[in-house]
Amino acid sequence: MQKTIPLDIDVQSYIETLDEKKKADAYTLLEVFREETQEEATLWRGNMIGFGTYSYRYDSGHEGYAMKCGFAFRKTNMTLYLYTEFDYNNPDYVDELLAQLGKFTHGRVCIYVKKLSDINLDVLRQLVQRNQKFIEDSTTTIRC
């Protein structure tokens, strides 16, 4: 059973439950992601705010759907969900666009930011655009 699913909860109602700083950042991110994806926001399980959906299939045969991109607020940071060009086989490789983003860390599929003022929103817009293009240019099912 798929754990990450969209919920039938209004995104703005959820944002209004956040503290003032997170709320302000959420509305800024909401605007950036909406404008660049041309998609409406949906709240997903885990308090993730996502935009659009796509289907995926693992080599194991497991398949499902996920948000194309989005963001979430955690205790110590915000998480941006975007396809990125990290090269885990070459730790010295730095994607040119990510190098311009600002102060962040990353995991295998996420970008972690302490505060929104740490990153360049124009670069974030470009990353969202690139994310959308990657998904649109992929076949109907992205193989993971």
Domains of the chain, with CATH numbers? 11-143 (3.90.1150)
Residue with tokens 């045969």: 61
The crossing angle, in degrees rounded to 10, of helices 20-37 and 121-137 is 50
User: What's the rounded Cα separation, in Å, for the pair 110 and 104?
Assistant: 10
**Over residues 66-74, mean pLDDT:** 94
Whether residue 73 contacts residue 82, with contact meaning beta carbons closer than 8 Å, is answered with no
- pTM (predicted TM-score): 0.85
Residues 44 and 130: beta-carbon distance below 8 Å:
no
The whole-number pLDDT of residue 15 equals: 97
Residue 58 has pLDDT above 80, yes or no: no
- pLDDT, position 83: 78
pLDDT tens-digit readout, 88-138: 556 555 578 888 999 999 876 789 999 999 999 999 999 999 888 888 877
pLDDT at 86: 54
What is the spatial distance between Cα 116 and Cα 53, in angstroms, rounded to a whole number? 25
Confidence label for 1 from pLDDT (cuts 50, 70 and 90): low
Least confident of 30-34, 59-63, 69-73: 59-63
